[in-house]
Amino acid sequence: MLQEAEAPITNATPEPPDRSPAPAHPRFAKPQRIAFVQASWHREVVEEARIAFLKEIEARHIARDRVDLFEVPGSFEIPLHAQLLAKTRRYTAIVAAGLIVDGGIYRHEFVADTVIKALMDVQLRTEVPVFSAVLTPQQFHETAAHFDFFRKHFAIKGVEVAEACATTLHSLERLRGQVAAGIV
């Protein structure tokens, strides 16, 4: 009769499962400085984008102390702040975050369209890229379930806008180098 061999008893710590290494993000040739403009309307939701953005942008080699935070009353006020910040030439990028919901003085579609168009105008006039995490849900109710859903959604958007920001800044850095070298 065959007996199963008993496994030896050891005090060794089990090996952790293989994990993929963290993605290696390229480093910047020059220091970057970002302005993050956040609307305070529904701050507890919108701040999730800021928190996620800061974590992700650090993973992409832009230190937290290179991001200046600004708060405005609502999303409608973001474009003017973005324009004034862009004109200082201090920032290589500006990120906007806000939540536009129905029920204010203006219809939310009007505000959303106006804000997004104005942010695009700022970046085209100043050549400072402006990124938007200004969201306009079709149905938003001030219930715990909706607040919870949109907090999570804004966290995702914070990561996405950090990725877009870093990728664009790298692209612009390469392009400006090529233009300066006469390649383009």
Residues 6+ apart with CB under 8 A from 63: none
Q: Is residue 107 annotated as part of the catalytic site, yes or no?
A: yes
Contact present, 94 and 85 (Cβ < 8 Å): yes
| Nearest-angstrom CA–CA distance, 76 and 134 | 10
130, 82 in Cβ contact below 8 A?
A: yes
Determine which one of 89, 107, 151, 174 is catalytic: 107
Tokens of 45: 């939701």
d(CA 100, CA 17): 43
Q: Which residues are catalytic, by number?
A: 107
